[in-house]
Structure 1
Amino acid sequence: MVNLQIRDVPEALRDRLAATAASRGQSMQSYLMSVLKDEARRSANVELLRAIDALDEGDEFSGAEITAEIAAVRDDRDRRNTEAL
């Protein structure tokens, strides 16, 4: 595991994060880990959009083909995210 440290966090921000964590019944560490995981998961959406954009615009795909491609990209993303943890 890797440790991360963030310097110069304003006290008001720290207090707000601590309050949010407490309201969810989580420690600050647990809450921030969930925020980081969620952000990493969302960043994969950019990859998906780039893959879709790279498709030849002249081609027509069925709804089933598009759904299958999205599922494949998501499966690949989830596999890579799981391996990274």
Structure 2
Amino acid sequence: MVSINRDYVIDIIGEEKFNELCEKYAGHTLYFPKKTNPFNTNEERNDWIFESFMDGKGYDFIANELDLQRDTVIRIIKEYSKRQKRPSK
């Protein structure tokens, strides 16, 4: 985990917005994604990951395309595969 200096954040978003963040999220950890996600939802992203895998793309290729950890891609594919195997009701 990386800590970001208070003054650095204020320089980027301004003191008023910084104070709003502090009031609402004091004591919490905030996550900032590495880059813009081209998908509207995680479900869309996961569909793309699984389809790419089924099309023969490797874990490393998919992870690099979306700036994800390789282990995350593997986990998503395994979870998606389990969902696909469940019988419909």
- Shorter-chain TM-score above 0.5: no
Q: Which has the higher helix share?
A: 1
TM-score by length of 2: 0.33
TM-score by length of 1: 0.35
